[in-house]
Structure 1
Amino acid sequence: MADMGDNTPVIIGVGQVSERIGEPGYLERSPMDLAGDALRAAFADAKARRSLPKALDTLVGVRQFEQSATRYSAPFGCADNVPRAIARRVGANPARAIHEVVGGDRPQRLVGELAAEIAAGRSKLAAIAGAEALSTMRSLLARGETRDWSEHRRGNQEDRGPGLEGLSDRTALKHGVAAPIYAYPIAENVRRERMGLNLADYRTEIGRLFAPFTKVAAANPHSAAPTERSVEELATLTERNRLVAEPYGRLVVARDQVNQGAAIVLASVAEARRLGVPEDRWVHVHAVADCAEPPLFSRAEMEQSPAAVAAISRTLEVAGVGWENVSTVDLYSCFAIPVFNLIDAFGLDRDDPRGWTLTGGLPFFGGAGNNYSSHAIAEAVVRCRAAPGSFALVGANGGTMSKYAAGIYSTMPADWSQSRWQSLGKIKPAFEVLDSFDGEAVAESFTIIPGKTGETGTVVARAGTARVCANTSDLSVVAALRGGKLSGRPVRIEEGENGQNRFWFL
């Protein structure tokens, strides 16, 4: 490694922390406390002989759920300067403090961005840290208790804002399917019908994908739900595995009730040597690429994400490896379709012995908000150190397959004389999306969402060169949605109250 350029970026430390309610050592830590502890663990993981906090010049705080969207509240308050709040806990005072935008892709993309900053000589030691404590928050609220997690910290902050623009169609919001837990089923049902499966059989398809994930989660000490489950348990709707939106039962959707934090520390080779970080701690960033999609209803095929395929393809190309060279993989698994999208596109085997998760996946390990892929990268680094010369791939998804970032890691050196981070831009929309419509259309997909007053069926249909969304609460129409193939059926749509279109079958 002696011939590497001084500005070559390397990951020198990773850290993960977690706690589960009622277990020994449970401390009711706030998100900032968890993030600070994760960064402290990452510094310790580097085994440096000199102080890393004092040398830290850049710190990125991953945006919490409570600061990401209006549907999440912060009943206990939150830090107004997240990166500075985390830095204070480890005794650091970085010159640059960044609060990142929303998206599960962001930690993976940030590795590329910070590695490029280091390669260009604009940074020597940088870190990414984030955490969620939604499990503790909800437990306290259920007991009628409160805490004060508000925090004011002085110092400069580059707040990039939530960055929610372009993640969802306005009509999806009006019809109640903008949140990923309701939007993803619409994509999933396109794939299901193309496979010729009914809802029950497709739940089995999802169970077959995710059952091996639960085995990994059960062995991971940081998992929020460390329980191995069978295909049947995941596929069968029960009181415990209640329907959340067709075709998803509760057990196969991302679990946001977690108390988890993770951090990643990167350095230039010269700085790693100056700080006395042993070379056996170094893991090289061989490539990072990211790409974005237009909102779901405007895409050419709603069950596919060419952006994810492009990001992984470019990452493999820049790293100079193929799927056959990758030993360990973590594909972002908030729901099944982001994993199926890549398995289908690359012709991969669902039952590949390498497996598709390093953590246990978001429904089982836990969906630690926008910070999940920091945990995946931490696991990838551990695997690379344990098998020197091997390659690990991490794929990170944001929004409703809205944006994707991928990274390749190895202890093998990577030449950063030219940047290995490539941002591929955004794919252009293929369809106009109409907020209101009156006339006939052709159905493409649907979901059914249970509610206190009954079920709501939501359909996405094609009207010429445009798409339109519409709802129904008519029990017979909802039953018909479940009863057979929907794609290609003619529907009548008219504008209803509060900007919601309504539909019925012709």
Structure 2
Amino acid sequence: MRVDPHTPVVVGIGQFTERIDDQNYRGLSAVDLATEATRAALSDTGADAAKVAQAIEVFAGLRQFEICTPFADPPLGASDNYLRSVAQRVGADPRRAVLEPIGGNGPQKLMTEFAGAIAAGELEVALIVGSEPGSTAKYFADKDHKPDFTEHVGGQLEDRGYGFEQYMSEYTVAHGLTGAPVQYGLLDNARRAALGVGVAEYRRQMAELFAPFSAVAAKNPYSSSPVERSVDEIVAVTDDNRMICDPYPRLLVARDTVNQGAAAIVMSVAAASRLGVPEHKWVYLRGHADQTEQALLDRERLGVSVSARQAVAEALRVAGIGIDDVSTFDLYSCFPFPVFAVCDEFGVAADDPRGLTLTGGLPYFGGPGNSYSLHAIAETVSAMRSNPGSFGLVGANGGVMSKYSVGVYSTDPGEWSADRSRELQADIAALPTVAVTRHPDGPATIETYSVRYDWPVRTGIIVGRLDADGSRFMALTEDPELVALMSDGDPLGAAISVTPDGDVNRAVLR
């Protein structure tokens, strides 16, 4: 099939991982990790790497954790223009450098954005790159002699901002929602409430979902933790598998102390032909969609994801296929909930023989900050090349199930087709919202919850409903009886009393 010469194709993918326990561990910077991945992607094109590098017009990148807020400087210094530092190292001089806001949906969102720009004739070649140097920061934290990764390269940079304000508010932060585990704990426990499943049974279901992920990670040379885990090992709370935030022991939580980088090169068919990229390297983005969820406390049902449902359905529609036509999946897996949310909506079983990950998932392959799904894209492109004509789906999640981006990839040629993401977003905007009482006072029940084991005093985090009017609120508790129920029992639906205490609400059993 001959396609329009502006049709975008992914032609180069690269990944790099160094493990802190490797004999040749170097403790690389974010720039160095991204450079290794970019060099691999340039080589992967099968064309002249120098010529491809010189042809790249846009370097689009993902933020590392160390530059995700303005509140602290990177512990070992950083480049003032991450993307142009990488570009200089590989002999590129892009006219645009774009730094995306935080969010794990970013890699697929950028791929869709710049593939669309290529299809529109606005540019011909773009690179998407990301890296995370978390293990470097950990390795040097207690060392007397530390490297200085500061670089002053200047140059154009389109910094799109941090974006964290979309995922939190003063109200949620005051009530303990300062990290991903506790936020997703609320969602998984809300899903458990809807299913009517007990604590032990649900933890086993989560472990049964993720144990096969670890088996994939064990065979992936780019994994940060290539160890296969059994269901019983994931379920058992031990010193090595301590509770992080309810309902998650460590082996159900994204592994963020990693040194990983990934890159993908997308270009027009015309540019691929001109630069000599062999056609067997070409992989088409056949389907795509981006959706944004309601704010966390506005959602009528905390145990589902409308944005994930709509994004997956729309990407499949654009690709012209159904869920049964997908050969490979990589569903964002920072915690079980994002995987369950998609499986629930589309009738995909946890033990689907196609598997739900190609990387091995964030707890085992690694959770390199905002750039994880760039590794998923790389693995999917590789899988599509190995099985021509098949379709692979990447589901990328950001925030507290706040944003969901989907890509459907295939070597099967197809011209670019626009999606209806903007129109579908109106459906989410029109959804009903739940009334929130900021300073509740009176009898109430627990709607969902988590427990913070990482605080000096074990603390319960509650989303509840006032008995008087059904409005939703958040509260904290250090009440021994209630914390014991939340840690060792099942507090869903428990009767509590809540009172305001300044900016924080407090709850006790009644």
For the superposition of Structure 1 and Structure 2, which TM-score range results when normalised by the shorter chain? over 0.9
CA offset digits 1:460-494 (Å, max 9, x no partner): 11233531101111111112234654343332211
| 8 Å CA contact 2:168, 2:177 repeated in 1 | no
Say whether the 8 Å CA contact 1:116–1:421 is kept in structure 2: no
Distance 1:310 1:462, change over 3 A: same
Give yes or no for contact 1:171–1:434 (8 Å, CA) kept in 2.
no
Q: State the partner residue of 2:32.
A: 33
- Paired residue secondary structure (1:155): coil
Contact kept? 2:244, 2:454, Cα under 8 Å? no
Identical pairs, percent: 44
Q: Tell me, in whole angstroms, the C-alpha distance in 2 between the residues paired with 1:460 and 1:128.
A: 38
Aligned residue type for 1:324: D
Superposition deviation, residue 446 in structure 1: 0.9
Deviation at 1:16, TM superposition (A): 0.2
Does 2:477 match 1:478? no
Other structure's SS at 1:23 match: coil
Deviations 1:145-171 (A, max 9, x none): 421111111211111011122212432
From 447, 451, 456, the equivalent of 2:450 is 447
Match of 2:459 in 1: 456
Compared CA separation, residues 24 and 218, structure 1 to 2 (3 A): same
Q: Against the structure 1 CA distance between its residues 435 and 88, is the aligned structure 2 distance closer, same or farther, given a 3 Å change threshold?
A: farther
**Matches of 1:368 and 1:504 in 2, distance apart?**
38
1:455, CA displacement in angstroms? 1.1
- 1:279-303 per-residue CA deviation (whole Å, 9 max, x = no partner) reads 1100001011010112222211112
Which residue in 2 is equivalent to 1:434?
A: 437
1:353 paired with 2:353, answer yes
Structure 2 residue matching 1:288: 3-state secondary structure: strand
**Which residue does the alignment assign to 2:342?**
342
Provide Cα deviations, 1:164-220, integer angstroms capped at 9, x if missing partner: 222124322001123211111111111223333332222211110000001000001
Take 2:132 and 2:353, find their aligned partners in 1: how far apart are those partners? 31
Matched, 1:371 2:386: no
Question: C-alpha distance in 1, partners of 2:361/2:91?
Answer: 32
Q: Is the 8 A contact 1:198 1:484 kept in 2?
A: no
C-alpha deviation, 1:344, in angstroms: 1.2
Residues 451, 284 of structure 1: alpha-carbon distance in 2 compared, 3 angstrom cutoff: closer
Aligned ranges for residues 57-456 of structure 1 at < 5 Å? 57-69=57-69, 74-416=74-416, 418-420=417-419, 422-423=421-422, 424-425=424-425, 427-428=428-429, 430-451=433-454, 453-456=456-459
Report if the CA contact (8 A) 2:15-2:262 is conserved: yes
Q: Tell me how far apart the structure 2 counterparts of residues 439 and 147 of structure 1 sit (CA, whole Å).
A: 55
Matched-pair contact (CA < 8 Å) for 1:186–1:447? yes
Deviations 1:421-467 (A, max 9, x none): 84543733612333322223332011111246431011111233531
1:155 alignment partner AA:
G
Q: Secondary structure at the match of 1:280?
A: helix
Distance 1:151 1:256 in 2: 24
Match of 1:503 among 502, 507, 510: 507
CA distance in 1 between partners of 2:131 and 2:228 (Å)? 25
Rate the CA distance shift 1:503–1:71 in 2: closer, same or farther, 3 A. farther
String of CA shifts for 1:30-62, please: whole Å, max 9, x gaps: 110110111111011001147111111111021
Contact preservation (8 Å) 1:287, 1:421: no
C-alpha contact (below 8 Å) 1:328/1:391 kept by paired residues: yes
Q: C-alpha distance in 1, partners of 2:327/2:246?
A: 34
Counterpart position of 1:21: 20
CA contact (8 A) 1:113 1:421 kept: no
CA offsets, 1:74-129, max 9 Å, x none? 11111211221111111111011101111000100111100110001011000100
How far residue 71 of structure 1 moved from its aligned partner, in angstroms, is 7.5
Q: Are the counterparts in 2 of residues 316 and 408 from structure 1 also a CA contact under 8 Å?
A: yes
Q: Which amino acid aligns with 1:226?
A: P
Alpha carbons of structure 1 residues 201 and 145: separation in structure 2 relative to 1, 3 Å: farther
Distance 1:381 1:304 in 2: 29
Contact 1:119 1:419 in 2 (8 A): no
Structure 1 contact 199–482 (Cα < 8 Å) conserved: no
Partner of 1:12: 11
What is the DSSP-based 3-state SS (H/G/I as helix, E as strand, rest coil) of the residue aligned with 2:33?
Answer: helix
For the 8 Å contact 2:14–2:38, the answer to whether it is kept is: yes
In structure 1, how many angstroms separate the alpha carbons of the residues matched to 2:5 and 2:344?
41
* TM-score, L = length of structure 1: 0.96
Alpha carbons 1:112, 1:287 under 8 Å: kept:
no
Determine if contact 1:288/1:421 at 8 Å carries over to the other structure.
Answer: no
- For 1:35, the aligned partner's letter is A
Structure 2: runs of 5 or more not aligned: none
Residue 236 of structure 1 deviates from its aligned partner by: 0.7
**Kept after mapping to 1: 8 A contact 2:27/2:139:** no
Structure 1 gaps of 5+ residues are: none
Q: CA RMSD in A?
A: 1.7
Q: Distance in 2 between matches of 1:135 and 1:386?
A: 32
In the TM superposition, residue 72 of structure 1 has moved relative to its aligned partner by 6.8
CA–CA separation in structure 2 for the residues paired with 1:40 and 1:479: 52
Q: Which amino acid aligns with 1:468?
A: F
How many Å apart are 1:385 and its aligned residue?
Answer: 0.3
